[in-house]
Amino acid sequence: MPTLHIPKHLLEAELARRKGLVVPLGQFRLEDYLFDKQLAFVRDLSPFKAAVTTRRAGKSVSCVADLLHTATTNAAVVCLYITLSRKNAKRLVWPEFKRLNSKFSLAGNPNESDLSMSFPNRSVIYLLGANDKDSIADFRGLAIKKVYIDEAQSFPSYIEPLIDDVIGPALMDHDGQLILIGTPGPIPNGYFFELTKNANWSHHHWSFFDNPKLPALSQGKTHQDMLNRELIRRGVTTAHPSIQREWFGRWILDENSLVYHYDANKNDYGRLPEGQWTYLLGIDLGFEDADALAVLAYREGHRETYLLEESITRHQDLTALCQQIDKLKLKYDFDKIVVDTGGLGKKITEEISKRYSIPMVAAEKTRKVEYIELMNDDLRTGRLKIRSTSQFAEDAAKVEWDHDKSTPDKKIISKRFHSDICEAVLYAWRESYSYTNVPEAEKPIYQTEAWGTHQEAAMLQNEIDRLEELRELNGPMEERSVEFNPEDHQELDRPRLRYQGKFDNRIKT
């Protein structure tokens, strides 16, 4: 008897029909798809809900199922799913929307260009990225039934006024719901953290231990087996802060998980001191992310470097970027403009230099982790001054190391929250030579032995600088080695140099 081949999607549709999952066309039963804690969360009719979960707990599946159920059982309503970026929404949850729509015959019409799904009852679900606040503001005045904000712990601060000014009022017509869901962040602060403590909100919590649908469970593994595997891989115990956050869903202070160690008590500053300043401009190029410009400065005789100004702009063209740079050049006499030349950055940099006569140097991107740690040392010692109201200060509390991908030999920055301005600050900071300055309080006493040693070193550096200037004016010099005898300079303003062989520019070190 010949074998009958039935397409998989038809088998799934028939199975769903027999289990009563399609009742009637365009609807499905949540209780046959979600497990108990997901279901309790979704069925909670409170107008404001906050859920703290963990990795692999099925939180995004809860969002998708609830939004589809709401859109298919309510006519002519608008539902929103908002996450960190449109890219994240398209990559992580958009396939799940389409899969459930097809599996349960919900008759939704997916629109790939604007990430929306419309239904025969005139209801629509929109997927949005929070990095573009203007797109969310476009929904001002609409009647919205339900809003999910996923990965809420990593959202920028402007999400609060958007909720207050745009989303909140739009929910009134349908007595709609506002729902925030996420995992604990490395620092117990921020808008989402405060809401998880707010008595006016309904609170839910579950972890990966509550999820009975993990693929590894069908292979004979247990939840504890999976956790043990991660503990062995990382060489940590369950007491480690990131394990507590990511696997148990607990808010634990974990400064070591943060990439940038900003501390307002050490790094915040008020009025900029007087002095002779050297200005640096760091630029991180982007289009879907953002063009980020950071102005840093340091002054003669002091070891501190200051972040003076930030600019973060999305979706701007080359002309608009150059206008931004020109405006800053009129305000600051830059010693260096440092640009990230990765990807298309190099071509853009060359085009800017050619068309607008703006001198630029490529950002040093090798050994990035090492330089982040060096910059952290300036943050810890208070030598890098950044205002607490800056975007850098806000982002520094969110950019984390990716413990899943990092190894003892190589640390990887998590993609869960990306900061453009932190990159721009890092590029400019690497060109700051404030560490070479000797503060007035540390300068040696006049005519002491220490003063004499300091003077000799200063004169030697002056001679090196003069030779470097000559080399830049006259082209590459024949390499010669330099021997310096301190006894030769007693009656001279500059040390007398005797050249032997070839000049070795390593004398600068």
209-246 pLDDT tens trace: 999 999 889 899 999 999 999 999 888 999 999 899 99
Low-confidence ranges of the chain (pLDDT < 50): 21-23, 477-484, 486, 488-509
Count CB-CB contacts under 10 A for residue 442.
Answer: 9
User: What's the rounded Cα separation, in Å, for the pair 425 and 314?
Assistant: 17
- Is CATH 3.40.50.2300 correct for 8-216? no
User: Which residue's entry shows tokens 């206008």?
Assistant: 323
Single out the residue of 298, 294, 338, 307 nearest to residue 437, CA to CA: 298
Per DSSP, 279 falls in state E
- Asked if the domains at 8-216 and 264-436 fall in one CATH topology, the answer is no
Q: At what angle do helices 345-356 and 318-331 cross, to 10 degrees?
A: 60
- Please give the pLDDT value at position 309: 96
Under 8 Å between Cβ of 471 and 507 = no
| SS3 (DSSP) at 298 | strand
| SS3 (DSSP) at 277 | strand
Count CB-CB contacts under 10 A for residue 504.
Answer: 11
- Please give the pLDDT value at position 305: 97
- Please give the pLDDT value at position 306: 98
Q: Which two tokens stand for residue 364?
A: 């040093």
CA atoms within 13 Å, Cβ hemisphere of 93? 32
User: Which residues does 403 contact at the CB level (< 8 Å), separation at least 6?
Assistant: 234, 242, 246, 257
- Is CATH 3.30.420.240 correct for 264-436? yes
Break the chain into its structural domains and give their ranges. Answer: 8-216, 264-436, 444-508
Summarised one tens digit per residue, pLDDT across range 139-193 is 777 789 999 999 998 887 777 888 888 888 989 989 999 999 999 988 887 889 9
- Please give the pLDDT value at position 93: 94
Under 8 Å between Cβ of 454 and 436 = no
Rounded to two decimals, the pTM is: 0.63
Count CB-CB contacts under 10 A for residue 338.
Answer: 25
User: What's the rounded Cα separation, in Å, for the pair 267 and 387?
Assistant: 7
User: What's the rounded Cα separation, in Å, for the pair 148 and 167?
Assistant: 11
User: What's the rounded Cα separation, in Å, for the pair 77 and 71?
Assistant: 7
What's the residue count for the chain?
Answer: 509
